[in-house]
Structure 1
Amino acid sequence: MKEKTEKEKMLNGELYLAIDEELAQMQTKAAQLLYDFNFSQPHQVDWRKDIILNLFGKIGSNFVIRPPFYCDYGCHIWAGDNLYINYDCIILDCNKVYLGNNVLLAPKVQIYTASHPSDPQVRLTGRELAAPVTIGDNVWLGGGAIICPGISIGSNVTIGAGSVVTKNIPDNVVAVGNPCRVIKNV
């Protein structure tokens, strides 16, 4: 049986080496696209949209992403229609990030799929971990919200500004805080 590539390990949630040549090339490609996106002129809206179409794995219609925007690979981000990403957001897409339809990210939202082993000896090997993040339809993530690796957020959800989401959030709720917790059904 053929040994898995570091990319396959990364996407399978297994320990992987991020310094792998294939992954480094993918990151360089994304970094160049992001550089062009983030340093574009304000009137270059169509050009920025073309960059995002080349960066993301999939993106629906009617999207707005305000620079600066940052991600690791881009190709692991899958988004539905009517996506709005405000200024200074980060998506560490070392694993899949699924964004449903009508998702709104306020400024400085951070979505992390990447993590490091908690065992210090394993961490010294340079290996990392990544777990997918799924965000449903009609979700608003308030300013500065942080979504941790492996999290699922249901549909029709509001996450309050500054929240740190460490556990899954069900459909039809408002959730806030650090750690984020449900405060109201909608």
Structure 2
Amino acid sequence: MKNKSLYQQCNTEISEQEKMKQGLWYDANNDADLLQQRELAEERCFCFNSTLPRDLKRKEEILKELLSNCGSEVTILAPFYTDYGYNCLIGDHSFINHNAYFMDGAPIHIGAWCFIGPNCGVYTAAHPLLAVERNKGLEKASPVTIGNNVWIGADVTILSGVTIGDGTVIGAKSVVTKDIPANVIAAGNPCRILRKITEQDSIQKDGEVK
């Protein structure tokens, strides 16, 4: 299937949603089923973002409808946006700060105990480079994986197909275009590894914590 031309991939008998799942080029903008799913997710995001902060019960109810693959004791601060919701797989105890946008045409896996700073964007979609093809509404989606215990700083952009390893820290305003291994500090545009995280980074070494 991967060796087929763009035209052949877009004219198979399988549904646009199935093409999306398989990582093929699919019609994201003109397919009735996908449009309906995104509209439903948008409405749920609107309800979540419009709910009073003190109404924690209602906010939790909306998130359960929107994010069916969300773990326990996850904190998400409004506003929050996602295209489908069901492709966001969020591990236990993770924290997602204000104004996150998860473009989840493909699965976005977020591990347990992750800290995600404000204005974080995770984008699984890619579009054709030729305008005549792009204007048809075609795109394809590749999954993003964020390991356990990862800290994503403020204003970080994570692009399609990227994997970030366990325990890694991504500096603020970074643009992550390629895989980042575990237990490193990485930052920049494009994001690059700066160094490994070691025991010398403990805040206890200077007697700051007793």
TMscore range, shorter length: over 0.9
Deviating runs (4+, > 4 A) in structure 1? Answer: none
Percent identity of equivalent pairs: 39
Distance in 1 between residues matched to 2:82 and 2:134, nearest whole Å: 22
Q: 2:46 is matched with which residue?
A: 35
Letter in 2 for 1:173: V
Letter in 1 for 2:19: K
C-alpha RMSD of the superposition = 1.1
Letter in 2 for 1:56: L
Q: Which runs of 5+ in 2 are unaligned?
A: 1-11, 198-210
Tell whether 2:63 aligns with 1:52: yes
Tell whether 2:29 aligns with 1:13: no
What SS does structure 2 have at the residue aligned with 1:111? strand
Q: 2:7 is matched with which residue?
A: none
Distance in 1 between residues matched to 2:142 and 2:103, nearest whole Å: 11
Distance in 2 between residues matched to 1:51 and 1:102, nearest whole Å: 22
Distance in 2 between residues matched to 1:101 and 1:169, nearest whole Å: 17
Q: TM-score, normalised by structure 1?
A: 0.96
Alignment equivalent of 1:152, drawn from 163, 177, 189? 163
Aligned residues: 185
Higher strand share: 1
Alignment equivalent of 1:89, drawn from 89, 96, 100? 100
Letter in 1 for 2:134: R
Letter in 2 for 1:89: A
Q: Which runs of 5+ in 1 are unaligned?
A: none
Higher relative contact order (CA 8 A, sep 6+): 1
Distance in 1 between residues matched to 2:130 and 2:142, nearest whole Å: 17
- For residues 30-82 of structure 1, what are the alpha-carbon distances to aligned partners after superposition, in whole Å with 9 as ceiling and x for unaligned? 11111110000111112111211111131111111000001101111011101
Tell whether 2:25 aligns with 1:22: no
Q: 1:77 is matched with which residue?
A: 88
What SS does structure 2 have at the residue aligned with 1:184? strand
Determine which structure has more spread, i.e. the larger CA radius of gyration.
2
What SS does structure 2 have at the residue aligned with 1:9? helix
Letter in 2 for 1:184: R
Letter in 2 for 1:92: M
Distance in 1 between residues matched to 2:58 and 2:27, nearest whole Å: 34
What SS does structure 1 have at the residue aligned with 2:155? coil
Q: 1:3 is matched with which residue?
A: 13
Alignment equivalent of 2:191, drawn from 157, 180, 183? 180
Distance in 2 between residues matched to 1:129 and 1:120, nearest whole Å: 15
What SS does structure 2 have at the residue aligned with 1:101? coil
